[in-house]
């Protein structure tokens, strides 16, 4: 899943694109092997500024339309926690909703995606992008995140939604140490029998640990993506598609040996 942030304040400068650049970046990501393009208009980095639903829609809808006008077969995910934006984005051609709040920030989201009948990424987060950094108290982060995903997952299934993807929410109300624990025990999430999406790309867990910058965090991203694949990740959400695709391809060869 290639990341296209239509925002001026995403934590990684290389992912910030304007409408005039997005078709070129989408073309490159698709050529490099991206399965999905994840279009977001609201930065969810810690402490990110608020944005109205209308402003968010004004950012993402023209981009979705521009990508599909040039690449009609592209599979587009909309990265939003707002039901109204999700509804408009799917009408514009998006085929998947990626909700960082797991339905917590907009009570209309679950019914909306159920009515739309599109796949939905249910991510774990506490609080909001503005408050999540203060909500990292867990008894055991793996057990607690699994517990906190059970109720929304059951609600979605109860609404008849079939295609649900789980995201443990690396960096969202988690410290670096908790992120490493989640990654180390990622296979515990197989208890849900749903595909796992992992979003570690260039996050602060990598660059703060290595005392580098987000711009220098590609190698670290590839290392942790490889661990995620070993632990059962089905989708990697990344800024750098080529490198992620290579990791997936090489891991496929390694894992094929287990099936002989």
237 tagged catalytic:
yes
Q: List, in sequence order, every beta strand (DSSP E) within the chain.
A: 2-5, 37-40, 76-79, 96-99, 120-123, 164-167, 197-198, 235-236
For residue 258, the 8-state DSSP code is G
For residue 52, the 8-state DSSP code is -
Say how far apart CA 160 and CA 209 lie, in whole Å: 42
CB 90 within 8 A of CB 106: no
Say how far apart CA 229 and CA 235 lie, in whole Å: 9
CB 116 within 8 A of CB 94: no
Q: 59, 82, 174, 237: which is the annotated catalytic residue?
A: 237
Q: 203, 208, 242, 259: which is the annotated catalytic residue?
A: 203
Which residues are catalytic, by number? Answer: 203, 237
């Amino acid at each position: 899943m290639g990341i296209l942030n239509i925002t001026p304040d995403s934590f990684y400068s290389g992912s910030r694109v304007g409408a005039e650049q997005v078709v070129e970046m989408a073309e490159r990501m698709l050529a490099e092997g991206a399965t999905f393009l994840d279009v977001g208009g609201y930065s969810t980095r810690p402490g990110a500024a608020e944005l109205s639903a209308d402003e968010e829609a004004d950012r993402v809808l023209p981009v979705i339309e521009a990508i599909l006008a040039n690449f009609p077969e592209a599979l587009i995910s909309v990265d939003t926690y707002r039901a109204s934006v999700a509804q408009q984005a799917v009408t514009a051609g998006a085929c998947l909703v990626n909700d960082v709040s797991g339905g917590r920030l907009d009570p209309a989201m679950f019914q909306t995606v159920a009515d739309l009948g599109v796949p939905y990424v249910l991510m774990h987060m506490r609080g909001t992008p503005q408050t999540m950094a203060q909500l990292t108290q867990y008894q055991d982060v793996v057990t607690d995140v699994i517990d906190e995903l059970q109720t929304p997952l059951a609600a979605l299934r109860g609404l008849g939604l079939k295609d649900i993807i789980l995201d443990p929410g690396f960096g969202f109300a988690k410290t670096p140490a908790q992120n490493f624990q989640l990654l180390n025990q990622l296979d515990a999430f197989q208890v849900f029998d749903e595909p796992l999406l992992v979003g570690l790309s260039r996050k602060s867990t990598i660059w703060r640990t290595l005392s580098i910058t987000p711009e220098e965090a590609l190698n670290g991203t590839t290392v942790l993506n490889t661990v995620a694949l070993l632990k059962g990740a089905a989708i990697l959400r990344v800024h750098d598609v080529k490198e992620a695709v290579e990791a997936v391809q090489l891991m496929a060869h390694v894992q094929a040996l287990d099936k002989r």
